[in-house]
Amino acid sequence: PITPGELLCLGSSLAFSGLFYYLYRKKARVVARIQEAPKLQVDDNLPALVSAADGRCLPYVALEGIVLPAKAALTSHYHEGLQGVIQKLLLKEHRLIWNALARSW
């Protein structure tokens, strides 16, 4: 006979497995969309392409081109001849809602 404790453990194990599988599949779809992203060149046609898109936004695109540093390129201390630049990160919040339970925005 199966005890109620064993049934509880089995049920919670199945519930957690289902939850983690759901989260895995959700992230796998996002990764697939990113990997299938079209590759665009940074050139004079890019602003026209962006303004012609829906909502003036291109979701998941890979930009290829030459990047010029604003001041000086960063050089690696460990690999000779390797240079890089720092990308400026822009964070845009789409919506701000007051959460009364957590008392935060």
Give one DSSP letter per residue of 7-23, joined into a string: HHHHHHHHHHHHHHHHH
Collapsing DSSP to helix, strand or coil, 75 comes out as: strand
- Residue 32: inside a domain, yes or no? yes
> What per-residue confidence (pLDDT) applies to 26?
96
- Residue 27: inside a domain, yes or no? yes
pTM, two decimals, is 0.48
Q: Give the domain extent around 12.
A: 4-84
Dihedral of alpha carbons 59, 60, 65, 67, sign:
positive
- Residue 98: inside a domain, yes or no? no
Q: What is the pLDDT of residues 53-101, one digit of tens each?
A: 888 888 778 888 887 888 888 898 998 888 888 777 666 766 677 778 8
- Residue 89: inside a domain, yes or no? no
Q: What is the pLDDT of residues 15-43, one digit of tens each?
A: 999 999 999 999 999 899 888 888 888 88
Q: State how many domains the chain has.
A: 1
Are 105 and 96 in contact by the 8 Å Cβ rule? The answer is yes
- Residue 102: inside a domain, yes or no? no
> What per-residue confidence (pLDDT) applies to 93?
65
